[in-house]
Homo-oligomer: A and B are copies of this chain.
């Protein structure tokens, strides 16, 4: 296989997060389901925003966060996603490039604004998201640069891409290009409601396209229509080369070729905001994977990165993740 120019190329919905604290009563009044991601139109986004508390704006997007984390570890990343040519779009592009991620998808010059995600963080550290997709709906196969995919060891796709109509075409094109070049395809299931919306398509994808699957407990259970994690975990075996299943405070399980690795969670000083926990787990895992580390170490790197991001507000690392590697020791 040819040498790679990138460890990972991520494709996702490019957006800016607006984070604010909220209590359970606020979620209730706004008919929002705690822990979920709900798609909203511009008017509903404005209505929620008008009622929300003071916010903090930070670049986000699931795969965007994963690539930012990968670069923060020292990995070589590229990103494909659609912003608009507006202030928030420029913020997103700046933040990717400043983190060392290659990002040059052509921005939208007219039409919808850059996507934003209203992230409400409750006192228990859970996040509830309302996403206005904006310019993301214009992402299509024409944005998938064949040379970029061909030169990346792993093509990483977020499940949320199934929401904007043309992005799934981009998704399929990228997966085919990657496999044609002997590269790996990774998929994150993103959100249990997203899985429920596209269950059949995700299962088909898993069978045909996905080498590495990332999912949390709720998502994998939703995919296989069971309430029991172990049943779901058994069901995923054989569907893909590697399944990395995160279990919150219980750590994670990495399954591959009949072997199961149980990974402890990394210790955290305080849980502030779980936004980005899954995204950053994928950063650590894929960094380890593309460095040729054994799977249990990949899982532990995932735990370590997730623990950093949940110890503060926001879905991107505050501490350069490279510095965490210095103190790295597998807890066994």
Contact = CB atoms under 8 A, between A and B. Distances in A.
Interface of A: 20, 49-50, 52-59, 68, 86-88, 91, 94-96, 98-99, 113, 312-314, 316, 318
A98 B316 CA distance: 25
Copies of this protein chain in the complex:
2
Contacts of A316: 54
Given A87-B88, A94-B49, A54 B318 contact: no
A155 to B, nearest CB: 23
Contact of A94 (B50, B68, B314): B50
B95 A314 contact: no
3 A-B pairs with the lowest CB-CB distances in the bound complex, closest first: A57-B57, A54-B95, A87-B87
A313 B99 CA distance: 18
Nearest to A89: B87
Contacts of A58: 56-57
Nearest to A72: B54
30 contacts: A20-B98, A49-B94, A50-B94, A52-B94, A52-B98, A53-B98, A53-B99, A54-B59, A54-B68, A54-B94, A54-B95, A54-B96, A54-B99, A54-B316, A55-B91, A55-B94, A55-B95, A55-B98, A56-B56, A56-B57, A56-B58, A56-B314, A57-B57, A57-B58, A57-B91, A87-B87, A87-B88, A87-B113, A312-B312, A313-B318
